[in-house]
């Protein structure tokens, strides 16, 4: 296996690019729906009603969107932290904290969407 593929950094870099491409569509659509198409105040009932019109689409949409966004945001934050060249122990603690925040935020987001989908 070539050295470049063995490097974890390259894999993170690659997924940062893949999620960026996904977010152009998913985040763009999310913003257009919420800020340009929606009318009136957003409530639990109004979101549930919108989701009920096409539950399969919205489930697939947010189950790809949320993990992609969390990865892209926290991996981006990691890149910024690493640029300050912190000592190894700080890297380990921040890396673990980012993983914990990422997993928690993903689960919370998916659970919130599931609640509004009624599943």
**Contact positions vs other proteins (CB under 8 A):** 17, 20-21, 23-24, 27-28, 31, 35-36, 41-45, 69, 73-74, 76-77, 80, 101, 105, 108-109, 111-113, 115-116
Shortest reach from residue 73's CB to other proteins, in Å: 5
Neighbour-count burial for 71-89, b at 16+ CB within 10 Å, e otherwise: bbbbbeebeeeeeeeeeee
Nearest to other proteins of 6, 35 (CB atom)? 35
Nearest to 30 by CA among 64, 53, 71: 64
Take residue 114 and report the two structure tokens written for it.
Answer: 């599931």
State the nearest-atom distance from the C-beta of 101 to other proteins, in Å. 8
> For residues 49 and 118, is the Cβ–Cβ distance under 8 A?
no
**Residue closer to other proteins, measured from CB, 22 or 88:** 22
Looking at the Cβ atoms of 93 and 112, the one nearer to other proteins is 112
User: Which is nearer to other proteins, 4 or 36 (by Cβ)?
Assistant: 36
């Amino acid at each position: 296996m070539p050295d470049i593929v063995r490097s974890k950094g390259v894999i993170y870099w690659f997924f940062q690019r893949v999620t960026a491409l996904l977010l152009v569509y998913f985040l763009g659509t999310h913003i257009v729906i919420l800020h340009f198409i929606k009318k009136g105040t957003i409530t639990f009932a109004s979101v549930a009603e919108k989701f009920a019109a096409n539950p399969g689409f919205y489930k697939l949409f947010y189950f790809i969107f949320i993990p992609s966004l969390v990865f892209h945001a926290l991996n981006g934050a990691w890149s910024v932290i690493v640029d300050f060249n912190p000592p190894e122990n700080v890297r380990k603690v921040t890396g673990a904290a980012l993983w914990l925040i990422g997993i928690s935020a993903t689960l919370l987001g998916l659970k919130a969407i599931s609640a509004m989908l009624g599943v």
